[in-house]
Amino acid sequence: MENTRALGRSGIQVSALGFGCWAIGGEHHTPDGQPLGWGRVDDEESIRAVRRALDLGVTFFDTADSYGTGHSERVLGRALGKRRGDVVVATKWGNVFDETTRTLTGRDDSPAYARRALTASLRRLDTDYVDLYQLHIADADPERALRLRETCEDFVREGLIRAYAWSTDDPSRAALFAEGKHCAAVQHAANVLRDAPELFALAERRELTSIVRSPLAMGLLTGRHAGRPRPEPGDIRSRPPAWLPGFGDGSGADPEWLARVEALRDVLTADGRTLAQGALGWLWARSPRAVPIPGFRSVAQAEENAGALARGPLTAAQLAEVDRILGRRTATV
């Protein structure tokens, strides 16, 4: 497998595997205490993990200003340091937050806020440009999103960003942004347990990159939830919101979801892969435009995820076997 991908039509090259930086942002929450992070983190370990990923060939890092209410961007900026020019950095905007209390307080889809948010992200990341800037309001009004698309074109002309995208699971909204000259991608959820055929097809049709979030199903596809351990307080999985499947009432992973993972274990771990590496390999087999962005909080996780690059995509036969096990039609882009 080629270990690099073109980022849509932008001319930017990224590693076929990116790293998602949500988890390294640490704890943050809604005003009523709903956790939005993945629990406690060790910043020094996060920095070591980013640098280890770089050494292993990962050159694409995806964060957002709201992850840890700015903390993820700060940690990523520290970790990259003088190697900033060796990587492609993506961040997102649209959520409003209070850094002092680590609270998400609302959202703002105005062009004026987009500029303020970008200025703040550049400062936290310690850089003078962002490679990919992404709208982080999945259900933003399409008419207002058109104005934001034009604002992003302004940012490109000013040299503040190189390309832009929308983080949304709605194909019609993603298609709206795709009409912009410098739109390079759509970020959407997908994994071996939950396919996204319309979005993969859109990416192929519009020559976009599918930046795939939740490629390991919020950890279910790592195998670490097999014993149904209760997520720690401060972890979003301890009080899962409606949009987060697989964790029920927060007392542990849903047995039905775990049963599906176990049914897939043999095919995903064939050829010496770990379960997580097999899940990433499924995405590469599913679409040549897929760039999965698994999360990480440790050097060990970085090494395991980056190890998937050497294994590459599943075979066509393995892809068909996954569909047979899950009782769905074999997917095509």
Residue carrying structure tokens 């997917």: 331
CB 278 within 8 A of CB 267: yes
Buried b (16+ CB within 10 A) or exposed e, 20-57: bbbbbbbbbbeeeeebbbbbebeeebbbebbbbbbebe
- 136 class by beta-carbon count within 10 Å (0-12 exposed, 13-18 middle, 19+ buried): buried
Distances (CA, A) of 241 to 18, 146, 235, 237, 270: 25, 29, 11, 8, 34
**Polymer length in residues for the chain:** 333
Distances (CA, A) of 320 to 1, 57, 141, 192, 314: 19, 29, 38, 12, 10
Other CB atoms closer than 10 Å to residue 126's CB: what's the count?
Answer: 14
Among 67, 129, 133, 164, the one annotated catalytic: 67
Instruction: Tell me how far apart the alpha carbons of residues 165 and 161 are, in angstroms, rounded to a whole number.
Output: 11
For 199, the token pair is 């979005």
CB 104 within 8 A of CB 95: yes
Instruction: Tell me how far apart the alpha carbons of residues 319 and 332 are, in angstroms, rounded to a whole number.
Output: 10
CB 97 within 8 A of CB 28: yes
Catalytic residue at 129?
A: no
Instruction: Tell me how far apart the alpha carbons of residues 50 and 44 are, in angstroms, rounded to a whole number.
Output: 10
Residue positions annotated with a catalytic role:
67
